[in-house]
A and B are shown apart, each in its own frame.
Chain A
Amino acid sequence: MSLDRRKVGVFAAAFLLRLLLIVLFPSLPDLLTGRVEVSTPVSSFKRLQEGLFLYTRNVSPYDGGVFHQAPLLLPIFALLPSSRDSPLPSVIFYSLIDLLNANALIAISDSGQAVSGRFYSALRKHIRWDGFAIAAWFLFNPFTIATCLGRSTMVFTTSGILYAVSSAVSGNSFNAMLALGWASYLSIYPALLFIPLVLLCYDVRAQRTKTAPGLAIFVVQHLAVLLLSVVGLLGMSILIIGDFSQIISATYGFQLLVPDLTPNVGLWWYFFIEIFDSFREFFLGVFWLHLTAYVGGLTVRLRRQPLFVCTALLGIFAIFKPYPSISDASLFLGLLPLYRHLFPLMRYTFFAVSALLYATLLGPAFYHLWIYAGSGNANFFYAITLVWSLGLSILLVDTIFAALRDEWELDNPQMRGKDVKQV
């Protein structure tokens, strides 16, 4: 494959931009690492450093209750030079991961699954961006850059998800399950993507080969692959740490039970601060149920566009998961341009984007007023996280509306371009 010159240009520019930022503002990575919008308890680079420190001294990294990330990250980072002297090596490493993610995005875009699949072919499929434009959109997104410089470990989950999707659309369903296994191993919730992803794999398989296997067998096979991959990774973790129950309680237990209520851009922390402890388990169940409930509904309703279901689910995760950060939003925003053909049908983009911009500016301001100036309080920041979630929700709902409308127009060609009123 001959190297696309524009792609090289975009990648080089994105890489250089990150280097330039770190050279011009050497304190930027540390500043971003400390921001609650970038680093959550389950993805913070600072906490990773703590775990790494304990790990390299042969103490269990989960002692002390600071580190809550997957054990396999530790040997990877132990290979890197220490980031205490200079953040440069770690930022270069994260930039490379970003480039890999962008590469996966290009692969997804080039497959064209976003506009036409097995059962479906979008009406406006000629309105679309090139792979490299989508990569540029992702790489130059300030949220992505902030995540990269803040060195949130969420990027590994992101790359797991993106590679799972890109393998799925290119027909490599085995790799897709392995990548999804990696993402789920790191932070559970990507496992929810299994159903749409396996449907996507199946559709691609059915498109390519005339004699497709039965759906049930296909799903069971892939579920087995996914489970095996997770089990394999957990086995490797036990080799590294040893104490299995400690790993599970410190990582998955931590993510499922949400004991750390450090502020973040999500909706859980404030709710669980305010709630009486006796109701805690009940609402934990409700919140998780709420998060998982979308999978079934969206998959059924949008059966013809499994890739879109994945995108919409990622948007939902960015809003409703327990420890969201801007890196989740950047993943969702990175996948959105795949649906460039839906943009003409969307109605509230400007308002959603304005709300996001307002939240982006006011969030740090109110956090400052609360934590540093002491003249505000937690409600200030929580109000802004509500605005942020509202902006994302509007964008998400608008996208889903556009996708449904597109499907509907496909089914009812006589109604194209007509105003329709629901009764």
Chain B
Amino acid sequence: MATPTALPPLPFNPSRARSYLLRLPLFTRLVLLATLVFWLLELQTVWSVVQWGALTPSEINLGTMYRLNTYPLIHMGFFHFLLNVVALTPLLERFEAEHGTLTAVALFIGPLSTLPAGLYLLIEKGIFNRNASVVGASVWVFLLLASEAIRTFKSHPHFSLGSTKIPTWTSPLFVCAVVSALVPNTSFLGHMCAIAVGYLLGLGYLKFFVPPEKILRFLEGKLNLLGRLPHYVSVDQKTFGRYGVLPTSAPVGDRPLPPPRSVVHLQIINNINWVEDTDLMALKSAIRNLRSNPQFLFARLPYILSFICIVAGVVWLALLPLDDYSRRTYISENALLPGQVHAYFSGSEQHVFRGYKKEIESLLPASYHEVQESGVRDAEFTPVVSDKIQSILRAAGLKVATQNYEYSSSGITHQGQNVYAIINAPRGDATEAIVLVAAWKTADGELNLNGVTLALTLARYFKRWSLWSKDIIFVFPPDSKSGTQAWIDAYHDMQPASIQPLPLKSGALQGGLVIEYPFDHRFESIHIVYDGVNGQLPNLDLFNTAVAIAGGQMGIGASLQEMWDHKNDYRARLETILRGMLKQGLGYATGAHSSFMPYHIDAITLQPKGEGWQDEMALGRTIESLCRSLNNLLEHLHQSFFFYLLMHTNRFVSIGTYLPSAMLVAGNFTIMAIALWMRTGYRPRATAAVKPGEKSNDETPSDEKPSDEKSEVEQKSQTEAKDATSTTERQLALPLSLVVGLHLLGLIPLYTFNNLSYKYYTPATYAYILADILLPIFLSALLTRHTSTSTKTNPHQHHLIKSFSLLPLGLFLSTLATLNFSLSFIIGLLCTPLTFIHRIPKTTPAPLRYPLTLAGLILLNLLSPPVVLLATCAYTGTSVETVLTQAAFGWDVWGMWTQVVVWCVWWPAWLSGGALLGCSFF
């Protein structure tokens, strides 16, 4: 922490450089600043400053005349910028010092940039008919050099090199030649134009551009520029000396020296005022001041940093759809060879398909045939149908088995029977398998008759091929939500008691495809669904293979995330990402394929969409080709990404690119927690003396803290610590137990919402909204009563509570970001107010304090978990009951833990935030 007392000696005298920099006049400073700003702007990639402001001959018209003025301020890169600035500063400083700020402004904004530009345009376009853009302050450098050279020429006409006498006015030409020879990409012509104009200036032909002295003097006198502007150089240098009077910059020695460290501890606050000096060299002392300024360091800076983190996180996400941040998808696993084989599924197989379909349709109840006209079609998966499917599969020569299962969740029982069959690989040893799933009902609850029939036809067709090196398993679950889950659980012997084990098994599953075809007409494109439970995603190679086969081989378009009309522009890409993130964040199963993901089996659902001319055979061929690709695999899909955000069927961002966004949002909580912790350790000595002894606190559990002895001891320690160190002991018991208690309290809603009957979900939600309104106020009342009786240092207690509640929040969210990026990001954003709210200090007048608190609490309640749930339901038009039933089903069946995050991470942090804000009432 010690500052070095003496810097090592420098090769030049830094105080001279310092005083030179400090004396730079106003316009020079402004030009340097503008150059710097433009260079910084160029760093981002959204908007190219160079293209905007460069002097490009073909771009110049009446509307883009501004380019004639902007080009000197813009640079191509850091070194271009640096070299030009180093060259320009002394020249410009000298010019301004001699001619005054106003003249410099008038000349450099006007003729001295437009004249060379005009000349350049004339020659470049008119004579050479070329179109090279130029940027950079070198135009001014050469211009000023040339005018200086003329002046030198007047006093010393020649300099001798041996016996030859060279006129001094040629020196800029040499420089220009050397520069264009040594430095690549310099515009020789541009520099020459600048030199020509510089000669004219030096010879005095441009005098008429200089505003008359009378006007300048008038302006200066009227506006009192000399008094108002720092570093201003007057027109009348003779009166005020070469540099005029620089009114506000006091001599350096007069500035108050930073007090020694020990003194700084005494006068902690409010010494920021004298860091006003914007001088470059003052920066060092400013940093030194900052270190001894805890008010800024602990009370302001964390808020600024946290805010920057949040904004940066959101902006980062918004940048992802741009071409520079996303990548084209590619097949990483070479063994897949998508679309390299001919698909033979056609011709007579279509007759088989129609025959199977007729057979199954005949078994459906009469109601199915009646309402077919109205478009609503529904039929249950009856044992008769199951028997039929089994008999068809048996007839095709497959091994068939069934599995009964039963789940119950929120008072609803889900039961059914899975039918499945296995083709043993003719060229394999039954150690690996591919799964094809055709659920009787699609994920949206529609009857998947064509899908089931297609799977049956494919089963018969695949059986006759001899090239399979992996077993192929056909699964026919009665619905998309529970059937596959029961099957895959039992396949890995992880099933609960209510589910039958599988009588027939094969090897390790390498991949899964789900077929959905819930209508009779032909389709246009294939919609690929890929989100798994808890935001897990299949390997990107599988998705890419499906896109490549559907699009490249079969000529069927592919779409994702229900973006039917994807224009592949920024907006559509961002919307696709956001839709994907929402699904990932909610973590529910989006189809039958989702259940495979937790077992590290990559699976996707193929859904035909739209009205077109592709028939079921085309879908069948796509699936055949996909199966052939999967059949080629030599090892489990592992090459490509498991963490990605897709924005188009052939564009994605990988985890390395998008993760910082969620990490920044999560990091803002950690920054705040650390800052608050450090803040509670810092204490002015003056107030440390009045620290009273605290009584034992009745709320603390006995295991947390030894109450009586400790407090006495603590008191003594305080008196000693006062002269021992300036950091103080923190009272950790109350904040720790409060935060731990709140996190445990989260188990109650978690339990309720997962175990209630579905009928009570809506009232329960309202009950929790009510509880969310009352609980913070109740907690804050408790807190206030407690802290006011025990200790007067409750601001510190509040800081600690906030610190301890934000710390686990940041911790959980950053951990979560590695598992489920979207959930972490969404919750992080919803929690951002918690960083910034705090107890409004008692010193605030009551008429301001109460309304503020009330408004804050109302705002906070709008962001409480149940209210957010209600709002989302209202926005999307689904009922709360459906959502919560689904969520409970997810918890019970799919092993979804979105609720855990909501109730044990978000809610406790929210509650403690609310309680802190509520404290301002008391």
A interface vs B, CB < 8 Å? 6, 9-10, 13, 124, 126-130, 132-133, 136, 139-140, 343-345, 350-351, 354, 357-358, 361-362, 365-366, 368-369, 372-375, 416-417, 419, 421
Contacts and interface: CB of A to CB of B under 8 A. Distances in A.
Given A369-B819, A374-B638, A417-B724, A129 B710 contact: yes
Contacts, number: 84
B815 A13 contact: no
B812 interface: yes
B811 A357 contact: yes
Contact of B709 (A130, A350, A368): A130
Contact of B815 (A132, A362, A375): A362
Nearest to B602: A374
A369 B638 CA distance: 13
Which secondary structure characterizes the binding site on chain B? helix
A344 B714 CA distance: 11
Which secondary structure characterizes the binding site on chain A? helix
Given A354-B807, A361-B815, A374 B706 contact: no
B371 to A, nearest CB: 44
B706 A344 contact: no
11 contacts: A124-B724, A126-B717, A127-B713, A128-B713, A130-B706, A130-B709, A133-B710, A361-B815, A362-B814, A366-B818, A416-B723
B600 A132 contact: no
Nearest to A422: B2
Given A358-B815, A419-B261, A421-B2, 5 more contacts: A10-B703, A133-B705, A365-B818, A373-B600, A374-B638
B724 A344 contact: yes
B487 interface: no
B296 interface: no
Contacts of A129: 706, 710
B643 interface: yes
B910 interface: no
Nearest to B681: A350
Contacts of A374: 600, 636, 638, 642
A373 B713 contact: no
Size band of the interface chain B makes with A: 35 or more
Interface in B618-676: 636, 638, 642-643, 670, 674
Chain A CB within 10 Å — which of B642, B670, B819 has the most?
B819
B536 A344 contact: no
B723 A350 contact: no
Nearest to A13: B703
Interface string B87-112: 00000000000000000000000000
A305 to B, nearest CB: 19
B631 to A, nearest CB: 20
B702 interface: yes
B720 A124 contact: yes
A402 B44 CA distance: 47
B784 to A, nearest CB: 26
Interface in B592-635: 600
B302 to A, nearest CB: 14
A136 B706 CA distance: 10
A421 to B, nearest CB: 5
B355 to A, nearest CB: 42
Contacts of B703: 10, 13, 136, 139-140
A128 B717 CA distance: 10
Contacts of A350: 674, 677-678
A99 to B, nearest CB: 14
A375 to B, nearest CB: 3
Contact of B725 (A126, A354, A417): A417
Contact of A417 (B678, B723, B807): B723
A140 B702 CA distance: 12
B721 interface: yes
B702 A126 contact: no
A375 B716 CA distance: 55
A416 B724 CA distance: 6
A140 B713 CA distance: 23
Contacts of B705: 133
A363 B724 CA distance: 39
Nearest to B722: A417
A372 B729 CA distance: 44
Contacts of B818: 362, 365-366, 369
Given A354-B674, A365-B819, A369-B819, A6 B811 contact: no
B705 to A, nearest CB: 7
A374 B602 CA distance: 11
A375 B819 CA distance: 10
Interface in B1-29: 1-2
Contacts of B262: 419
A417 B702 CA distance: 33
B568 interface: no
Which 10 pairs across A and B sit closest by C-beta, in order of nearness?
Answer: A375-B642, A136-B703, A133-B706, A417-B724, A361-B815, A130-B706, A421-B2, A374-B600, A127-B717, A350-B677
A417 B536 CA distance: 54
B350 interface: no
B696 interface: no
B731 interface: no
B727 interface: yes
Interface in B288-305: none
Given A344-B727, A365-B819, A357 B536 contact: no
A365 B725 contact: no
Contacts of B819: 365, 368-369
Nearest to B710: A129
A170 B807 CA distance: 41
B717 A124 contact: yes
A350 B642 CA distance: 35
A347 B704 CA distance: 22
A220 B155 CA distance: 98
A10 to B, nearest CB: 6
Contacts of A375: 642-643
B716 A126 contact: yes
Nearest to B600: A374
A344 B725 contact: yes
A94 B722 CA distance: 45
Contacts of B812: 361
Contacts of B716: 126-127
A296 B559 CA distance: 69
A373 B717 contact: no
A365 B901 CA distance: 14
Interface in B777-817: 807-808, 811-812, 814-815
A345 B725 contact: yes
Contacts of B704: 136
Chain A CB within 10 Å — which of B600, B636, B678 has the most?
B600
B815 A365 contact: yes
A398 to B, nearest CB: 13
A112 B677 CA distance: 31
A419 B808 CA distance: 33
Nearest to A131: B706
A187 B702 CA distance: 35
Contacts of B600: 372-374
B6 to A, nearest CB: 13
Chain B CB within 10 Å — which of A124, A350, A362 has the most?
A350
Contact of B702 (A10, A124, A354, A361): A10
Chain A CB within 10 Å — which of B1, B638, B670, B818 has the most?
B818
A421 B1 CA distance: 9
A372 to B, nearest CB: 7
A366 B816 CA distance: 11
A20 to B, nearest CB: 13
Contacts of B702: 6, 9-10, 136
Interface in B709-756: 709-710, 713-714, 716-717, 720-721, 723-725, 727, 729
A350 B806 CA distance: 14
A374 B508 CA distance: 14
A357 B807 CA distance: 10
Nearest to B261: A419
Contacts of A139: 703
